[in-house]
Amino acid sequence: MTTRSDAPAHRGPLPDAPAHLCPLPDASAFLGPRSAARSAGRAGSVLRHALDHGLLGPRQPVAGFLDTDGIETSVASLHAAFDTVPDVLHTFAAKAASLVPVLRLLAGLGMGCEVASPGELRLARDAGFPPSRIVLDSPAKTHEEIAEALALGVALNADNLDELTRIDALRPAGCASVVGLRVNPQVGGGTIGAMSTATATSKFGVALRDPGGRERVVDAFVRRPWLTRLHAHVGSQGCPLELIAEGIAETYRLAEEINAVVGRRQITSLDIGGGLPVNFDDDEVRPTFDDHARALRAAAPGLFAGHYALVTEFGRSLLAKNGFIAARVEYAKQAGGRRIAVTHAGAQTATRTVLMPGAWPLRVGAFDPEGRPRTGPAEPQDIAGPCCFAGDMVAEGRELPLLTEGDWVVLYDTGAYYFSTPWAYNSLPRPAVHGYTLDEDAVRLAPVRDAQTLDEIAAESGARHADRLLALARPGR
């Protein structure tokens, strides 16, 4: 199995790991239920520390926070769940937290990195992941992206058969890249269609159950001895473990079939994706990585036997419960008999929740201006964001102690995809992100990303080209 000590040298020097990063903590520490009071207590301690040190306040009304101890423990639980596999590379899906300090922390914990764009590849390399521990996935790779990955020695999963044709032409002699092919086992979808990638008409991979699909995949391997990996990712949030396991089992059976046809062990590794769903209802971590591994063993007993090296691509399940957003209540008002708290966390940082509230509901905590938990009778309240459209609502009719101007709301379970992947609607600045550790109420914070400045917003909006369109204007019109 891959461990932290197995990690190869990084691109650029990695700083010595602080003492609190070594060794990996006992995975059991965070695997059981965590009470809402405990979650609120930890968030409150961090919130008060941030207020005391000027990291939050009227001029810094929103920020994201990441629990580094929790991240370490989540990584440890992932390693433990697959510890019987002789050869496994756990990669982190960079899209879940495309922040260089977070990626570097994960590199130091023995993770690899899964990327899906030139930008994510750049972030992974800047974070210190060596090419041999990076996997490139994308359904729309250009010739240039493919050539760069192959030149670097980055592993690459082709999304379709036409992409394999491109790789045929671009793959240099002696190429160090492991090359795979993504297949769609077409086992169906979960409760969130947008998160289900193994439906009959999914845009990802080669559809195995379409007429002739399986045969074309087998032929692609027969004609390319250097094609040595199969890749499948069934889905994530809203997909039951049994569905995910069924898709991986079908991929395992296909690998066995291909190796039998070519008469040798050509496929040597399986990339089984990620997709472990996250419980957003309460503090309990469920399902766990152990639950996921048990489902995989039941569906494909040979998967853990060492016949194939494994690659995983978990993202949300490693970070979601290890982060929260804190946002100031700017106004509290009534409209049509409804109490509305207008805050600085809306669609720009909780995009999925605002646009798909039924699929991505978030728990909300209420705190007073000093960061202490709000008390008093609970009343139904809407939690609104700052964006200029009526649907910018993080929660509606939520039972909370009465919120007033200057209070703080905390959006729990937002360590993945939320503050790390902001939406530039209304040119609202990207919020600052801080990492923290908490030991017996002693809080330590470290910067992850600075808040975006108005100068930076203007620069991104083309300020240096401000007069260029005037040059195209026709005199007299």
Binned at pLDDT 50, 70 and 90, residue 3 comes out as very low
Burial of 88 per CB tally in 10 Å (0-12, 13-18, 19+): buried
Closest CA to 406 of 364, 454, 368: 368
pLDDT in tens, 207-222: 888 899 899 999 999 9
Q: 219-235: per-residue pLDDT in tens?
A: 999 999 999 999 998 87
Q: Where in the chain is the domain with CATH 3.20.20.10?
A: 71-319
Residue type, 242: E
In whole angstroms, how far apart are CA 457 and each of 452, 453, 462, 465? 7, 6, 9, 14
**Residue 248, pLDDT above cutoff 80:** yes
User: The tokens of 439 are what?
Assistant: 């030991």
Positive or negative, the Cα torsion across 332, 337, 338, 344? negative
Specify the range with the lowest mean pLDDT, choosing from 41-45, 240-244, 287-291: 240-244
Task: Please choose, from the candidates 189, 181, 254, the residue with its C-alpha nearest in 3D space to the C-alpha of residue 220.
Answer: 181
Average per-residue pLDDT for the chain: 89
Q: Give mean pLDDT, residues 69-73.
A: 97
User: Using CA atoms, how far apart are residues 55 and 444, in angstroms rounded to an integer?
Assistant: 13
Report the pLDDT value the prediction gives residue 31, as an integer from 0 to 100: 33
Lowest mean pLDDT of 95-99, 155-159, 271-275, name the range.
271-275
Residue ranges of the chain that CATH labels 2.40.37.10:
321-454
71-319 belongs to CATH 3.20.20.10: yes
Q: What is the pLDDT of residue 100?
A: 98
Contacts within 8 Å (CB) and 24+ apart, 351-355: 351/418, 351/421, 351/422, 351/423, 352/417, 352/418, 353/394, 354/385, 354/387, 354/391, 354/392, 354/393, 354/394, 355/391
Tokens (6 digits) for 136: 């490139």
What is the pTM assigned to this prediction?
0.89
| 282-304 pLDDT tens trace | 899 999 999 999 999 999 999 99
User: What band does 160 get if pLDDT is binned at 50, 70 and 90?
Assistant: very high
- Quote the CATH superfamily of domain 321-454: Lyase, Ornithine Decarboxylase; Chain A, domain 1 (2.40.37.10)
| Amino acid 10: pLDDT | 37
pLDDT beyond 90 at 343: yes
Quote the pLDDT of residue 192: 64
Query: How many Cβ atoms from other residues are within 10 Å of residue 321's Cβ?
Result: 26
Task: Say whether pLDDT at 329 is over 80.
Answer: yes
Residue 7 has pLDDT above 70, yes or no: no
Has residue 26 got a pLDDT over 60?
Answer: no
pLDDT exceeds cutoff 50 at 34 = no
pLDDT per residue as tens digits for the range 428-466: 999 999 999 998 779 999 999 999 999 999 999 999 999
First to last CA, the chain: 70
| Predicted local distance difference test score (pLDDT) of residue 196 | 63
Give the model's pLDDT for residue 12. 42
For residue 237, the model assigns a pLDDT of 75
